[in-house]
Amino acid sequence: MMNPSDYREYLSQYTDPDALLDTLTNLQKTFRINTLKCSKGFFEGFSDIPRSPALLPNTFSCGKDFPIGKTIEFFTGMIHTQTMSSMIPPFILKPEPNDIVLDLAAAPGGKTTQMSEMMKNNGVVVANDVKFDRLSVLVGNIRRLGALNVMVTRQDGRNIGYKEKFDKVLLDAPCSSLGSSLSAFKTLDRDRIRDMARVQRKLMLASFDALKKGGTMVYSTCTFSKEENEEVVNFLLENRRDAGLLDIDLEIPHDSGLSEYGNEFRKAWRIQPNQLKSEGFFISSISKGA
């Protein structure tokens, strides 16, 4: 375990520790309209939640102290609370109606249900997670939000065994949470990062192998360490010759991936907390050659 001083020094390789801690301490609540349950027009006419438009379509900020989880809009599934950074990977993946999509580490289901909404409840989203206690939260969100095209599975994603079955795959990998947790230093050490990276590499290979030729996957984490981000992507590129990084065509403030892994990694994103006033995130978009 790192002490706070060592933690700040470690973070300084990747981000401004003061900006990170300030952002996470004062993190504003954000939410998205769930168009499976209501239109934007209906929501705006119905809801008196104090809000201001946020960065992405149909998203809003409501301040950090508003009890949004106790509103009728939340209980009925008209909205879902989600950090701004965590909403970006599905926008990059762009699941479409009639796609067959795998969300390999799906709980608690924010991105799963977001993709179901983008697909207009058509096609199929296979939402997988390995931990039984997380599945109840995942299923609860799927039901509340009316995501009818989602199938839930419980398997170890490292050995899920699908071969070229999915048009698109999302791997929002379990990680050390350096970009999203104020208390990450309490469990952070080099061994933990190495252990997480070993799991992530296996999940990455399983995700890519499940992808159809010509398909696209997104790999994301809410952490900063290169061992869990660029090194995992680089591991895939070295072990699957038909894998390639794609440019991301969203107009969102971000830094590029670390250049020490080559010019290709300019296509990957590192979102700094001060850029979106949200969590720190790493995101990469990956193609599978036809």
Q: Which residues are catalytic?
A: 222
User: Where do runs of H (alpha helix) occur along the chain?
Assistant: 4-11, 17-25, 40-46, 72-75, 84-93, 110-118, 132-144, 190-210, 230-239, 273-276
Q: Are 104 and 117 in contact (CB under 8 A)?
A: no
CB neighbour burial string for 143-154, b if at least 16 within 10 angstroms, e if fewer: ebbbbebbebee
C-alpha 241/C-alpha 279 separation (Å) is 32
| Token reading at 99 | 């796609």
Tell whether the torsion through CA atoms of 128, 129, 130 and 134 is positive or negative.
Answer: negative
Please report, to the nearest 10 degrees, the dihedral formed by the alpha carbons of residues 260, 265, 271, 274 taken in order: 50
10 Å Cβ neighbour count for 3? 9
User: Burial, 13: exposed, middle or buried (Cβ in 10 Å; 0-12, 13-18, 19+)?
Assistant: exposed
2: left (phi over 0), alpha (psi -120 to 50) or beta: beta
Q: Are 172 and 180 in contact (CB under 8 A)?
A: no
C-alpha 226/C-alpha 193 separation (Å) is 10
Q: At what angle do helices 110-118 and 132-144 cross, to 10 degrees?
A: 40
